[in-house]
Amino acid sequence: MDLYHHHRFKQAQSQVNRVAGEQAFARAAQRDDINALHDRLDRLTMLCEAMWMLLKDETGYTEEDLEARLYDLDMSDGSRDQRKRTVPQRCGCGAMVHPRSTRCVFCGDEAPERPAFDAV
């Protein structure tokens, strides 16, 4: 009987070790994904800052101009939350079309034109 329990214990221990290894692998993959996102965010931040510096130097816009435009953009979806949410647009048939849809699900027409940044 002890041999049977010993065998079952070893099987359970092996399964626990396998699951722990899978979880460690998944955590490492998530860390890699998060690090890649941080790298992309850092690059985008630098690109935005470089574009702002060029624009400011070439046009004479001020930080106040930038803040005012940022406020307008933030409020474009109706709330001041430092996010710009894309909102559904009305199709020619009157139905609302999801921001990421390419066609109206009711009539099949192409979705209304959207600004380029809505696709991001």
Q: Report the amino acid identity of residue 34.
A: I
C-alpha to C-alpha distance for 13 and 106, rounded to whole angstroms: 55
3-state secondary structure of 110: strand
Question: Which residue ranges make up each domain of the chain?
Answer: 2-82, 86-120
pTM for the model stands at 0.58
Kindly state the helix (H) or strand (E) to which residue 14 belongs, with its residue range.
helix 2-59
The DSSP annotation for 23-92 comes to HHHHHHHHHHHHHHHHHHHHHHHHHHHHHHHHHHHHH---HHHHHHHHHHHHHTTTS-SS------EE-T
Walk along the chain (120 residues) and give the pLDDT tens digit of each residue. Answer: 688 888 888 898 999 999 999 999 999 999 999 999 999 999 999 999 999 999 999 999 999 999 999 999 899 888 889 888 888 889 999 999 988 888 999 999 998 888 777 766
Dihedral angle of Cα 41, 46, 50, 51, to the nearest 10 degrees: 0
